[in-house]
Amino acid sequence: MPILQTLNKGRVPVHIWTGDTESTALNQLVNVSQMPFIHHHVAAMPDVHAGIGATVGSVIPTRGAIVPAAVGVDIGCGMNAIRLSLTASELPDSLRMLRNRIEQAIPVGFGMHDRDPVKRSTIVPLAKRLDQILGKHPAIAKMQRKRPYDIWIRQLASLGGGNHFIELCLDENEAVWVMLHSGSRGIGNVIGRYFINLARKDMGDQLGRLPDRDLAYFTEGAQHFDDYVEAVAWAQDYAMINRREMMQQILDALALQLPPFSITKEAINCHHNYVVREHHFGADVYVTRKGAIRAGEGELGIIPGSMGAKSYIVRGKGSEASFCSCSHGAGRRMSRTKAKRQFNRADLESQTRGVECRKDKGVIDEIPGAYKDIDQVMANQSDLVEVVHTLKQVLCVKG
């Protein structure tokens, strides 16, 4: 389905792939479109909803500037999915022990491993690059809890909280998939918050002229622009490694409980909160995808639903109108606070029937009813991606 709505209230248009957008999100999109460095237009995916400063589900191309709050604080957050050689018939009747195995292997929330979880050959290159960043910005280390180095190392191969998850899914052929959603953990959060605040400070009196103070930005050539690019690249790499290492630990845990299996070639590891240099509409630009994945022609991606709905493995169609992007999920249709008010444990149990997962009040804000209809989201972006596999989760671990 093509663009369903266009806003022309800013310096450039905003093209939206849904007709169902809350007023707060619309205002945020207009605010972004007023910025002087936006290139050509802003694209909003069908899962679009209000965020902090910039809208979740937006694709923002900029020339000569980057907005740290548009990237956000979960820098490099994204998805990883692999298909196993197993089929549904090879899974145990009860998946409780499998969930227990995964929960024992993977720290969630603010948790971390008791010892270094990955090889030194992985840690050392990351540490050298981080030392360079902290050498110029020592306050980043002070913002984290005690022993910052222990924290970022031991939070590798860990999940986090909120909407992050690990799932066991079945596709249309009953093949078993492992899918996870995580980002750059505590260190990425600290880097994001530090540079968002630094951008505000650097703008000085100009901050008050912005449509939203969360749109504070670094300009190319300014004092801290290159430092931010270096730091955000580090956090994105950290997030990618975190997902890769976590996936391996999950597979090791599953191997203790399941028949022998192998991994197929269909493996995807992609960001959906990040900034990258690309070429669009005749210019080299910084593309910030805040809650959106790259969907270049032929590229595989992952679009998850909620913990009780379908998810999709997709292949990009390379749409220039969306800057070769698509949605990163279903997208929230209500806040966490509203979800907790509106739903109860009985609702959660009903909406996650058939899924081995937590069904306590601690995850009510992640109930499927708090999210948009993933089928409608997919229908709205049929011009951006084609569906390769349809997945339905049978097990879900939440942070």
272 annotated ligand binder: yes
- CA dist 170 and 382 (Å) reads 22
Q: What is the pLDDT of residue 118?
A: 94
pLDDT band at residue 146 using 50, 70 and 90 as cut-offs: low
Q: What is the pLDDT of residue 52?
A: 85
Topology of domain 77-269+298-312+329-333+371-398 in CATH is tRNA-splicing ligase RtcB (3.90.1860)
172 annotated ligand binder: no
pLDDT over threshold 90, residue 226: yes
329 annotated ligand binder: yes
C-alpha distances in Å from residue 353, one per residue of 170, 172, 309: 15, 19, 11
- CA dist 40 and 128 (Å) reads 38
| pLDDT tens sequence across 14-41 | 999 999 899 999 999 999 999 999 999 9
74 annotated ligand binder: yes
Which residues contact residue 119 at a Cβ distance below 8 angstroms, ignoring those fewer than 6 apart? none
Share of the chain above pLDDT 70, in %: 98
Q: How many residues are present in the chain?
A: 399
128 annotated ligand binder: no
- CA dist 118 and 153 (Å) reads 8
| pLDDT tens sequence across 247-280 | 999 999 999 999 999 998 678 999 999 999 999 9
| pLDDT tens sequence across 208-217 | 999 999 999 9
pLDDT over threshold 90, residue 156: yes
Q: What b/e readout covers 237-262, taking b as 16+ CB neighbours within 10 angstroms? A: ebbbbbbbbbbebbbebbeeebeeee
311 annotated ligand binder: yes
Which residues contact residue 254 at a Cβ distance below 8 angstroms, ignoring those fewer than 6 apart? 98, 101, 102, 178, 261
What is the average pLDDT across 236-254? 97
pLDDT band at residue 148 using 50, 70 and 90 as cut-offs: low
HEC string for the chain: CCCCEEECCCCCCEEECCCCCCHHHHHHHHHHHCCCCECCCEEEEEEEECCCCCCEEEEEEECCEECHHHHCCCCCCEEEEEEEEEEHHHCCCCCHHHHHHHHHHCCCCCCCCCCCCCCHHHHHHHHHHHHHHHHHCCHHHHHCCCCHHHHHHHCCCCCCCCCCEEEEEECCCCEEEEEEEECCHHHHHHHHHHHHHHHHHHHHHHHHHCCCHHHCCEECCCCCHHHHHHHHHHHHHHHHHHHHHHHHHHHHHHHCCCCCCCEEEEEEEEECEEEEEEEECCEEEEEEEECEEECCCCCEEEECCCCCCEEEEEEECCCHHHCCEEECCCCECCCHHHHHHHCCHHHHHHHCCCCECCCCHHHHHHCHHHECCHHHHHHHCCCCEEEEEEEEEEEEEEC
Catalytic positions, please?
A: 328
| pLDDT tens sequence across 71-99 | 999 999 999 999 999 999 999 999 999 99
Cβ 29 vs Cβ 16: under 8 Å:
yes
pLDDT over threshold 70, residue 222: yes
Global confidence as pTM? 0.96
15 annotated ligand binder: no
331 annotated ligand binder: yes
| pLDDT tens sequence across 321-362 | 999 999 999 988 888 899 999 999 999 999 999 999 999 998
Identify the weakest region by mean pLDDT among 110-114, 244-248, 306-310: 306-310
